[in-house]
């Protein structure tokens, strides 16, 4: 596969195009908005200049990468693509429309992939006459830096197409995890409590954004706190994923979206890209220093960390319980996909399975909310004295 078509030149499409061009592919990058294409080209120029300063690439390499990308403003220009990766707005109706159009343009052998975070690949594939060539290729932001790629076969996907795609993405020096076509795949399912439980703690008035972020960074070793990360991802994108996962799981209270985040999205406080989210940012998207904060008290930090880590472990265990992926793959996905400092199931073993069950049961006793039900796998393991590794 030499030529890669990318639809959508926003955050993800631009990153995918950069990655493909750096890996030596010819890239055709299309967006419905000319402005988005111009912005993408300017951003790439800036990124490559930074790489030159860091001595990661030289001028020749920069020109080679830039020359590998053609910015096109008509879908029909994607005709020569061997693989098309779609990275447009997270909307099933719009995605299906684009897929059924692109199918009439490209060769019958072209593989058609979606970078969707939360929609059903099977539903997207159903918009095609030749649905067996469709699958999910789910990258993480920023694409060139994040090692993990989840590859998701739809119900209709030809196993050979799956195999070919996995081998191809590995040539981009990525770690591939094949995930079941279930809402959120691995990472976006297992990571939901990182955001959801943090928002809940904030809404209950137990702690502010800063205290929650600090607790997770100090006690957990997370590089970014949940509020910093939501600002980085964009509250619009993050909220849309949560809402879509919530609906897809038949309104399971575990995945319930938050009004705090919804209101921020409605206000246009999307995070770094709009200069304001949970925190404030300057024109270069650097965080504006706030008045100094008191350090979060150790007992409070521990209570915040314990509650969030217990919920994350519970979610990870449930993904294994429901055969979404193996324990090893779940840990790999979280460490390579979202840079968690440790695999959640490795963490569960370290904390102790009994202790994990106890922490979750305590939450259930307190709230009597189905959200805090313990995974049957953890309960069984605790009873049988087992560990994940
Ligand atoms: N942002 C993330 O962290 C992230 C991570 C993984 C996957 N994703 C998924 O990737 C996709 C894109 O997300 P993003 O953050 O890059 O969004 P974005 O808003 O930054 O970019 C989307 C781009 O698509 C263009 N677009 C919209 N409709 C189009 C159409 N019909 N035809 C052509 N172009 C169109 C827009 O002009 C825009 O430039 C979504 O499906 C999202 O769920 C996002």
- Whether ligand 1 lies within 6 angstroms of the CB of 90 is answered as yes
Q: What is the pLDDT of residue 291?
A: 82
Q: Which atom of ligand 1 is nearest to the CA of 33?
A: 37
Assigned domain for 223 exists: no
Mind listing the pLDDT tens digit for each residue in 194-247? 999 999 999 999 999 999 999 999 999 999 999 999 999 999 989 998 998 999
- Whether ligand 1 lies within 6 angstroms of the CB of 9 is answered as yes
- Percent of the chain whose pLDDT exceeds 70: 100
Mind listing the pLDDT tens digit for each residue in 44-92? 999 999 999 999 999 999 999 999 999 999 999 999 999 999 999 989 9
Assigned domain for 110 exists: yes
- For residue 83, the CA-to-ligand 1 centroid distance in Å is 18
Query: CA dist 117 to 132, 136, 140, Å?
Result: 20, 9, 9
Measured CA to CA, the distance from residue 7 to residue 9 in angstroms comes to 7
Q: Which residue has the CA at smallest separation from atom 15 of ligand 1?
A: 11
Determine the average pLDDT of the residues in 316-323: 95
Q: What is the pLDDT of residue 159?
A: 97
Q: Select from 5, 6, 7, 8 the residue to mutate for testing ligand 1; criterion: most ligand atoms less than 8 Å from CB.
A: 8
The sign of the dihedral angle between the CA atoms of 43, 48, 54, 59 is negative
Longest dimension (CA), the chain: 63
What's the domain count of the chain?
1
Q: What is the pLDDT of residue 380?
A: 98
Indicate the pLDDT class of residue 2, thresholds 50, 70 and 90: very high
Mean pLDDT, the chain, whole residue set: 96
H and E: helices and strands count for the chain: 17, 8
Query: Is pLDDT above 90 for 306?
Result: yes
Assigned domain for 352 exists: no
Assigned domain for 155 exists: yes
Q: Among candidates 231, 256, 280, 4, which has minimal Cα distance to 115?
A: 4
Assigned domain for 316 exists: no
CATH of the domain at 140: 3.40.50.720
- Whether ligand 1 lies within 6 angstroms of the CB of 235 is answered as no
- Whether ligand 1 lies within 6 angstroms of the CB of 88 is answered as yes
Q: Among candidates 133, 132, 138, which has minimal Cα distance to 182?
A: 138
Assigned domain for 22 exists: yes
**Can you tell me which residue has the tokens 């449930």?**
318
Q: Which residues are catalytic?
A: 117, 138, 150, 188
Assigned domain for 94 exists: yes
The sign of the dihedral angle between the CA atoms of 98, 101, 107, 109 is positive
Query: 342: which residues sit within 8 A by CB, 6+ positions away?
Result: 221, 335, 350
What is the pTM for the complete model shown? 0.87
Q: What is the DSSP string of 226-268?
A: HHHHHHHH-HHHHHHHHHHHHHHTTT-GGG---HHHHHHHHHT
Query: 174: which residues sit within 8 A by CB, 6+ positions away?
Result: 147, 148, 149
Assigned domain for 26 exists: yes
- Which segments of 259-323 are extended strands (E)? none
For helices 298-321 and 344-351, angle between their N-to-C axes, nearest 10 degrees: 120
Structural domain that includes position 127: 3-178
Question: Please, what is the Cα angle at 158 between 152 and 163, to 5 degrees?
Answer: 65
Q: For residue 72, give both structure tokens.
A: 């096109």
């Amino acid at each position: 596969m030499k030529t890669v078509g990318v639809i959508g030149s926003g955050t993800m499409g631009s990153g995918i195009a950069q990655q493909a061009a750096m890996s030596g592919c010819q890239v055709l990058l299309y967006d419905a908005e000319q402005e988005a294409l111009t912005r993408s080209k300017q951003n790439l120029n800036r990124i490559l200049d930074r790489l030159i300063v860091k001595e990661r690439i030289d001028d020749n390499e920069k020109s080679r990468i830039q020359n590998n990308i053609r910015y096109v403003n008509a879908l029909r220009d994607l005709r020569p693509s061997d693989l098309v990766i779609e990275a447009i707005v997270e909307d099933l109706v719009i995605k299906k429309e684009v897929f059924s159009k692109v199918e009439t343009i490209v060769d019958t052998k072209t593989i058609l992939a979606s970078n969707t975070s939360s929609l059903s690949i099977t539903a997207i594939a159903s918009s095609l006459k030749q649905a067996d060539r469709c699958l999910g290729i789910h990258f993480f932001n920023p694409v060139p830096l994040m090692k993990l790629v989840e590859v998701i076969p739809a119900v209709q996907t030809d196993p050979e197409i799956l195999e070919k795609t996995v081998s191809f993405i590995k040539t981009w020096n990525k770690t591939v995890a094949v995930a079941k076509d279930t809402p959120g795949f691995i990472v976006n399912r297992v990571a939901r409590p990182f955001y959801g439980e943090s928002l809940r703690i904030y809404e209950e008035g137990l702690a502010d954004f800063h205290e929650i972020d600090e607790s997770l960074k100090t006690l957990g070793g997370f590089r970014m706190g949940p509020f910093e990360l939501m600002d980085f991802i964009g509250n619009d994108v993050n909220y849309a994923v949560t809402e879509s996962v919530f609906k897809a799981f038949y309104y399971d209270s575990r995945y319930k979206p938050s009004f705090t985040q919804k209101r921020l999205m409605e206000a246009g406080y999307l995070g770094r890209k709009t200069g304001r989210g949970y925190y404030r940012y300057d024109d270069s998207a650097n965080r504006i220093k706030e008045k100094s904060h008191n350090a979060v008290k150790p007992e409070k930090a521990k209570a915040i960390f314990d509650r969030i880590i217990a919920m994350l472990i519970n979610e990870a265990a449930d993904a294994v319980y429901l055969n979404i992926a193996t324990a090893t793959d779940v840990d790999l996905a979280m460490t390579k996909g979202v840079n968690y400092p440790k695999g959640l199931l490795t963490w569960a073993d370290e904390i102790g399975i009994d202790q994990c069950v106890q922490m979750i049961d305590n939450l259930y006793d307190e709230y009597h909310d189905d959200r805090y039900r313990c995974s049957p796998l953890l309960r069984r393991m605790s009873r049988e004295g087992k560990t994940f590794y």
